Structure 1
Amino acid sequence: MYAIIAAGGRQYRVSQGDVIYIDKVNQEANSKISFDVLMIGGEGDVKVGNPTIEGAKVEGKVIAQVKGEKITVYKYKSKKDTKRKIGHRQPYTKVEITAINA
């Protein structure tokens, strides 16, 4: 069984036991988090919500607050002796999916 959930403006296809990285959510490690379900599928039958399925939830556990890979951004203006180098690491929340309640 799998479910489609929405978190942080993105949609994720999850199954029980999956580990996903979502945009940062202000929650402590080892706390529980739940998501609304947009679609549930598996074994030939599919339920689609409008926009969500009432009574259906995906339960998860926050594992850690982590940062993504570093990207380097350059700003440069020709003929002006102006340049700037900036690094950025996007913060994410690592979540383990514990249950899909249909």
Structure 2
Amino acid sequence: MDVRRFATAAAFAAYCGTAPREVSSGDRSRHRLSRAGDRQLNYASQVMAVTQRRIQPPAQAYYERKRLEGKSRKEAMRCLKRRLTDVMHDCRSTEVARAA
């Protein structure tokens, strides 16, 4: 898959299924991950997020910062997953640009 086909990291996140979708009811505004998208990429980003949260201090700090902002454990993991998807897009774009 050529990452250059996605104009932005947000488009790539939507393709992976890690872009949050608003699920609101009344006064309550919530977000959840889309069930659409490439399931293999979504699973890969889930495994990355769980592993990063356990091992990598920057990911742990990001997760804890989201928890301190009042997000639940699941919401904080969704944020980390989305952030990792953005990193995947940026790394792949840079790698493709260097090869050209």
TM-score by length of structure 1 reads 0.18
Higher strand share: 1
- Flag the structure with larger Rg: 1
- What TM-score do the two structures reach when normalised by structure 2? 0.19
Of Structure 1 and Structure 2, the greater helix share is in 2
